[in-house]
Chains A and B, each alone.
Chain A
Amino acid sequence: MPIQYYIGLAATLFCIGITGVLIRRNAIIIFMCIELMLNAVNLLLVAFSKMHYATAFIRNANTTAGSDAQLFVFFIMVVAAAEVSVGLAIIVMMYRNTHSVDVNYLNRLKN
């Protein structure tokens, strides 16, 4: 399949994520949209990895081109997990104090 399809799919997912972050008011849903953005990136990285591997494979059968992108995906997943744990902890801390996860109530700092 041509790479354009993957770019299109990843861009669509990424834009859905950005739109969600910008228009949703529930902190957890915003957070899920951010995760969607990260996963769109993962998908695109793997697609590019295969693309670069395929082009390098024609010249050299023992190439390792593209493997760095797949490693990058592992790192993104691990960092995203760390972010999830910190982020959910922050949201739970918020919920215990305000009994709400609506970001519209976050206006104590606007004086």
Chain B
Amino acid sequence: MNAIILSAILGVIMMFSGIWVNNKATLRWIALAGLLVLLISNIAEMYGYRIWNVNVHNMLYFDRFGLLFNSVAIGSTFIFVALSGSDINRVGKYAAEYYTLIFFVLTGITIISVYTSLLMLFLGIEIMSIPLYILTGSDKRNLKSNEASLKYFLMGAFSTGLMLMGITLIYGATGSFSIEVLNNPAIAQGVSFLEITGMLFLLVSMAFKVSAAPFHFWTPDVYDGAPGVFTSFMATVVKAAAFIAFVKLFDARMSYSSAVVDWKMLLCILIIATLLIGNITAVFQQSVKRMLAYSSIAQAGFMLFAVFSMNEMAKEGIIFYAVSYSLATIGVFAVLLKMKDFTFEGYNGLAKSQPVLAFANTVFLLSLAGIPLTAGFFAKYFMLASVIQTGHYLWMVIVAVLFAAVSVYYYFRVIQAMYFKTGEGETENIHPGFKTGLIILTVIIILLGVAPNLIINFLYF
């Protein structure tokens, strides 16, 4: 509860500080301070300290899983603002509003990680996505940004319509919006046609939100057209939050209603299609930004394994995947935003001109590819191990490993360009603080790659 109310209040504070504070650098410091307060209050709630005692009427349930994810999301946002804050200020003249919208997105995220009522799921997803439509179109004079924001908006609103239809049909069948009722095996025995249709609608709309194939087609355009900083935010924190909502929604659902619809089979098709389309299309991209958009689809394929297997390991895994994927992608985007040219050629010779950036970028890309000693390795390991634990569709693990090998190709193209090709490697002016931030992020990723329990232990202690 702390994080939900505080993030909304901090959003309002940010909104008004835009009226009274004219210096963009000051605004960034205010945002960073706000995020720090938010993070501390959320960690305090994990250990039982609540600022507000609100009766939520069983619509929210603050368990360790949701609160830990909140901390991860807020922490990732903090790192994101710390690294890319100067790029946020460069997007346009409304810097305070951008930070405001980021706080409002966080309000949505903190709701959908702890919801137990489908009403809260709907509200959280909407509170999360409406500010994102604005952020996507924040580069007002750029036609690409306009187009991306219109596409994102139309697709988002359409999938919201599908989700609402699903929720309504489930309500018609069960008479309740609570997911505890949904997940209760005693009620689920006699699942009706209405309820199955509703679940299918929900599955499709969540697949839209997490950009799983065949509902991914908006993702590359939106990620490419949006201002780079906000792509970084959308592809990391927001996407991970959508996955948490997905996992909570289908928590126990998938296992027993298999008599009518084979949910595992459906998810299996989704996962294989997502991995295939994401990885194969990423190979052929010329722009690094667009390549990262497709790679985020491919990573979504891996995260879908958590929805597929639905056991304790999957829950640990999805949190760890969220951390490692968010941190690495934020790092890669932070470096990308400093480049003058977003194509692969733009990275030529970066190791000569900016060795620190090149090294940090290498670590981030290795983590995304899932090479051992980086956090990405354990993230992928947890996902695949959770599938092996279920004992179904084991051939999917082999397919996933093969696609991970394909992903190594396009991540290494960047590394190859940085180290083994000659070029200028032109960048914007690099602040020493930015380099320090990158090094700290690199250390975190390697540390998590050696000791993943640093995050997972928070689930239990």
**So, do A and B actually touch in the complex, CB under 8 Å?**
yes
Q: Does A27 contact B (CB under 8 A)?
A: yes
Per-position 1/0 for B135-175, Cβ under 8 A of A:
00100110110111111011001101110110111011001
**Cα distance, A69 to B171, chains bound together (Å):** 8
> Contacts A76-B164, A82-B130, A90-B149; is A44 near B154 (CB within 8 Å)?
no
**Cα distance, A60 to B454, chains bound together (Å):** 53
Residues of A within 8 A of B168 (CB): 41, 44-45, 48
Q: Does A59 contact B (CB under 8 A)?
A: no
Main secondary structure on chain A at its contact with chain B?
helix
Q: Does B278 contact A (CB under 8 A)?
A: no
Per-position 1/0 for B221-238, Cβ under 8 A of A:
100110000000000000
Q: Does A16 contact B (CB under 8 A)?
A: no
Assess the B119–A65 pair: CB atoms within 8 A.
no
**Cα distance, A98 to B134, chains bound together (Å):** 18
**B391 → chain A closest CB, angstroms:** 38
Assess the A86–B123 pair: CB atoms within 8 A.
no
Contact-size category for B: 35 or more
- Number of A residues near B (Cβ < 8 Å) is 44
Most chain B Cβ neighbours within 10 Å, of A7, A89, A106 = A106
> Contacts A86-B134, A93-B140, A108-B143; is A30 near B154 (CB within 8 Å)?
yes
Q: Determine the residue in chain A with the shortest Cβ distance to B175.
A: A52
Q: Determine the residue in chain B with the shortest Cβ distance to A94.
A: B146
**A22 → chain B closest CB, angstroms:** 9
> Contacts A21-B158, A75-B119, A110-B221; is A91 near B175 (CB within 8 Å)?
no
- Work out how many contacts link A and B, with CB atoms closer than 8 A: 115
Question: Which among B148, B157, B162, B171 is the interface contact of A83 at CB below 8 angstroms?
Answer: B157
Question: Which among A38, A45, A75 is the interface contact of B123 at CB below 8 angstroms?
Answer: A75
Q: Determine the residue in chain A with the shortest Cβ distance to B176.
A: A68
**A48 → chain B closest CB, angstroms:** 4
**A68 → chain B closest CB, angstroms:** 6
**B345 → chain A closest CB, angstroms:** 15
**A28 → chain B closest CB, angstroms:** 11
Per-position 1/0 for A72-111, Cβ under 8 A of B:
1001100100110011011101100110000100101110
Q: Does B177 contact A (CB under 8 A)?
A: yes
**Cα distance, A48 to B192, chains bound together (Å):** 15
> Contacts A34-B161, A72-B119, A87-B157; is A48 near B172 (CB within 8 Å)?
yes
Q: Does B250 contact A (CB under 8 A)?
A: no
> Contacts A52-B175, A79-B126; is A90 near B146 (CB within 8 Å)?
yes
**Cα distance, A14 to B151, chains bound together (Å):** 21
Residues of B within 8 A of A30 (CB): 154
> Contacts A27-B150, A72-B119, A109-B148; is A44 near B126 (CB within 8 Å)?
no
Assess the B175–A65 pair: CB atoms within 8 A.
yes
Per-position 1/0 for B289-300, Cβ under 8 A of A:
000000000000
> Contacts A109-B224, A110-B221; is A97 near B143 (CB within 8 Å)?
yes
Assess the B171–A34 pair: CB atoms within 8 A.
no
> Contacts A14-B165, A48-B172, A83-B130; is A97 near B146 (CB within 8 Å)?
yes
Question: Which among A68, A75, A91, A110 is the interface contact of B150 at CB below 8 angstroms?
Answer: A91
Assess the B171–A48 pair: CB atoms within 8 A.
yes
Assess the A41–B119 pair: CB atoms within 8 A.
no
Assess the B153–A44 pair: CB atoms within 8 A.
no
**Cα distance, A48 to B158, chains bound together (Å):** 22
Question: Which among B146, B164, B175 is the interface contact of A41 at CB below 8 angstroms?
Answer: B164
Most chain A Cβ neighbours within 10 Å, of B158, B161, B164, B177 = B161
Q: Determine the residue in chain B with the shortest Cβ distance to A110.
A: B221
**Cα distance, A110 to B222, chains bound together (Å):** 11
Assess the A68–B154 pair: CB atoms within 8 A.
no
Q: Determine the residue in chain A with the shortest Cβ distance to B197.
A: A11
**Cα distance, A71 to B224, chains bound together (Å):** 38
Q: Does B133 contact A (CB under 8 A)?
A: yes
**Cα distance, A98 to B143, chains bound together (Å):** 8
Shortest 7 CB-CB contacts between residues of A and residues of B: A37-B161, A109-B221, A48-B172, A41-B164, A52-B175, A34-B157, A79-B126
> Hey, which bits of chain B sit against chain A, CB under 8 A?
119, 122-123, 126, 130, 133-134, 137, 140-141, 143-144, 146-151, 153-154, 157-158, 160-162, 164-165, 167-169, 171-172, 175-177, 220-221, 224-225
